[in-house]
Structure 1
Amino acid sequence: MSLVLPSELVVDRFLPTVRAMLATRLADRGMTQQEIAANLGVTQAAVSKYVGGESGGDDRFREHPETVATVDRIADGLSSGEMDGYDALAELLALVRTLEDRGPICELHEEEMPALRGLGCDLCVRGLDADVRAERDVLADVRTAARTLAAIPEMADYVPNVGTNVGMCLPEPRDETDVAAIPGRIYSMGRRIEIPANPEFGASKHVATALLAANAVDSDVRGAINVATDEGLLEAAGELGLEPLEFDADYEDRGAHLRSRFEGRGGVPLVAYHEGAFGIEPTTFVFGSTTGDAAQLVDELVAIASS
């Protein structure tokens, strides 16, 4: 993985674009090229290129509304004398922080470091605190688990019509926004497993409901995957020494019903299923301490059921 600091992108891509924008606007406001050079900290030759449109730059910054507004504000301030270099620097630093918060700098950073995509990275904004690390780890685990499912031979036979999803919650989750899953769910296309997007928090209600119920009974259970209910999978669970738990499909409050069933069982089983109801497709949930653990169990179940 290439290691690129956001500050490199600020220097290489953002700053030249903003300097060119400022040079043009200051020239429009009547400043000489020498005065512009002194204000921007560049040579007069550089200003000449900026004003002549030879500077290049990145259109993502040049067309960004907040960048345009900030540059205009600085140009007005410098040309009128109401703003000095300190004030202009403060404006630019505030703009950089904004652009790093899911803005163009963040987009460029993900292009330069593709490994950051789908991680909900806000390292530049919040720093590496415990909450950020936990979110990053959960998103990474869900991505890996989804790929594990896609690599399982015969997995397409066990994807329900409504799709499969992979969910993992943060420690002490409050609601479904603390559960990361695949937006749009995972589908089988022919014999191929299609993962439509990178994981996001709050992307699932179906799997999140089951996972939150399980976690409320056993906080060590933080991962869940839904698959089609299949007799072969249930028999495979028995061969592994697991006792699947059956629950009713048509409870209005699925979460409360599942919590009640888990508590009655004395804990959360690794496999829980229902046989469906009117308008409800039969579904089996596979649980684990992480989505990676749940995906490995699905792999084992499918391998046994398909043999």
Structure 2
Amino acid sequence: MPTARVLLASELDERGFTQQEIANRLGVTQAAISNLVNENVAIEPRFSEDERMIATVERIAEGFDSGEMDEVDALAELLALIREFEDRGPICAIHEELMPELEGLGCDLCVRGTDSQVLAERDVLRSVRRAARLLTGTDAVTEYVPNVGTNIGMALPEAEGPTDLAAIPGRIYRIRGTVERAANPEFGASEHVAGTVLVAKEADDDLRAALNLATSDALLDAARDAGIDPLEFDAGYEGREEHLRERLAERESVPLVLYHRGEFGIEPVTYVLGETAVDAAELAIDLVESAMDGRDRES
């Protein structure tokens, strides 16, 4: 609110409002307005430089100037802005900074209410975050991150499309012998993983998560050793999901490992499925560690 007051007071001052008129609008003293206009009050750049804040301030100032908006209308505009800032916005970043124990947990934790849809989103995001931490904290995964990167996604219970699946924007990638994630999970962040998950979910509604790894014989052998019969499908992008759907229809149950051998311009990829993102990550870690152990024994 201090940042909003500074910006709004300055905007009204530029429009020719007297300090007393501004004070009446903002519900503070004329002396306080003097401090605001003269920038004697600290502002938070993560708020002041946000395009949504700038647009809201300009909208309120224009409303005051034209007489189309009163103080109640202005408060409603600011409350709407705060709700946006609370929804994985700059308020969350500041909250995390003030409470380091929240680092990496995202903003779905405490301010979005208890609506059932929100709770479902929260559970999905929590699972994807934890899964990403498991993957980036496992050395063996490094050997199985494809050149295009790894992603892990999980769908909402009633998912209908890619925007109903949370994944890692920018993917999980290999750099200098370690595995790093680009960002915290968001909905709509992966099309390829989403496509695989949604097709698998059609065949088995409990399977809502998947991640991609580089295909290798050692990895597939590790899956077979774990009692999983991997299913191979066409690598081509055109009609891939329909082909996968047809291949799954040939099985009595959906195997937790799906793979293709790649083709020109397409890297061989294996998908590991799970009921949750954590389930998929834990299975993937078991498989890559088993594959690495088997390779070491052979060498």
TM-score range, shorter chain: 0.7 to 0.9
Provide Cα deviations, 1:160-184, integer angstroms capped at 9, x if missing partner: 2222111111112211121211222
Matches of 1:177 and 1:160, distance apart in 2: 24
Change (3 A) 1:211 1:104: closer
- Provide closer, same or farther for how the CA distance between residues 176 and 49 of structure 1 changes in structure 2, counting only shifts above 3 A: closer
Aligned to 1:17: 6
**Alignment correspondent of 1:65:** 54
Correspondence for 1:151 among 137, 142, 153: 137
Contact 1:209 1:254 in 2 (8 A): no
| 2:207 aligned residue (221, 239, 248) | 221
Q: Is the 8 A contact 1:222 1:288 kept in 2?
A: yes
SS at match of 1:156: helix
Alignment correspondent of 2:83 = 100
The Cα offsets for residues 201-230 of structure 1, whole Å up to 9 and x where unpaired, read as: 222122111111100000000010111111
Partner of 1:5: none
Contact kept in structure 1, 2:230 and 2:255, CA below 8 Å: yes
- CA 218–41 in structure 1, closer or farther in 2 if over 3 Å, else same: same
Tell me the secondary structure at the aligned position of residue 136 of structure 1: helix
Aligned partner letter, 1:132: V
Alpha-carbon distance change, 97 to 38 in structure 1, aligned in 2, over 3 angstroms: closer
Residue in 2 aligned with 1:246?
A: 232
Residue 14 of structure 1: how far off its partner (Å):
4.3
Give the conservation status (yes or no) of the 8 Å contact 2:166–2:188.
yes
Measure, in 1, the Cα distance between the counterparts of 2:103 and 2:147: 31
Does residue 1:111 correspond to 2:94, yes or no? Answer: yes
Q: Is the 8 A contact 2:230 2:257 kept in 1?
A: yes
Structure 1 residues 275 and 303: CA distance shift in structure 2, 3 A: same
**Rounded Cα–Cα distance in structure 2 between residues aligned with 1:170 and 1:151:** 25
When structure 1 is superposed on structure 2, of 213-222 and 130-139 the one drifting more is 130-139
User: 5 Å matches for 1:34-73?
Assistant: 37=23, 40-59=26-45, 64-73=53-62
Contact 2:193 2:210 in 1 (8 A): yes
Is 1:287 the counterpart of 2:273? The answer is yes
TM (norm. structure 1) is 0.80
- Aligned-partner residue type, residue 236 of structure 1: A
Matched with 1:4 is none
C-alpha separation in 2, matches of 1:105 and 1:52: 32
In our comparison, the structure showing a higher alpha carbon Rg is 1
Q: Which amino acid aligns with 1:207?
A: V
Secondary structure of 1:284's counterpart equals: strand
Distance 1:143 1:25, change over 3 A: same
**Rounded Cα–Cα distance in structure 1 between residues aligned with 2:75 and 2:270:** 53
* Coordinate RMSD, CA, aligned: 3.1
Deviation at 1:112, TM superposition (A): 1.6
Residue 241 (structure 2) aligned to one of 255, 266, 284: 255
**Which residue identity is paired with 1:65?**
I
* TM-fit CA distance, 1:61: 5.2
Equivalent of residue 90 in structure 1, options 63, 73, 94: 73
Deviation by residue 1:95-152 (Cα, 9 ceiling, x = unmatched):
331343148994133322364867474986x743111111122122112111111111
Taking structure 2 as the reference length, what is the TM-score of the superposition?
A: 0.82
The separation in 1 between residues aligned to 2:261 and 2:174, in whole angstroms, is 21
How far apart are the structure 2 equivalents of 1:271 and 1:166?
Answer: 14
* 1:217-262 deviations in Å (ceiling 9; x for gaps): 0000001011111111111112222222222323731111112211
Structure 1 residue ranges without an equivalent (≥5): 1-9
* Residues 271-280 or 39-48, more deviating: 39-48
**AA paired with 2:285?**
D
Which stretch shifts more, 222-231 or 197-206? 197-206
Counterpart of 1:29 (choices 17, 42, 45) is: 17
> In structure 2, what is the Cα distance between the partners aligned to 1:72 and 1:104?
25
SS in structure 2 at match of 1:198:
coil
Q: Counterpart of 2:259? A: 273
Deviation, 1:51, is: 4.5
Q: Deviations over 1:8-46 (max 9, x none)?
A: xx4xx34643574477468x4346x4x655554434433
Among 195, 206, 225, which residue is 1:209 paired with?
195
User: What is the match of residue 161 of structure 1?
Assistant: 147
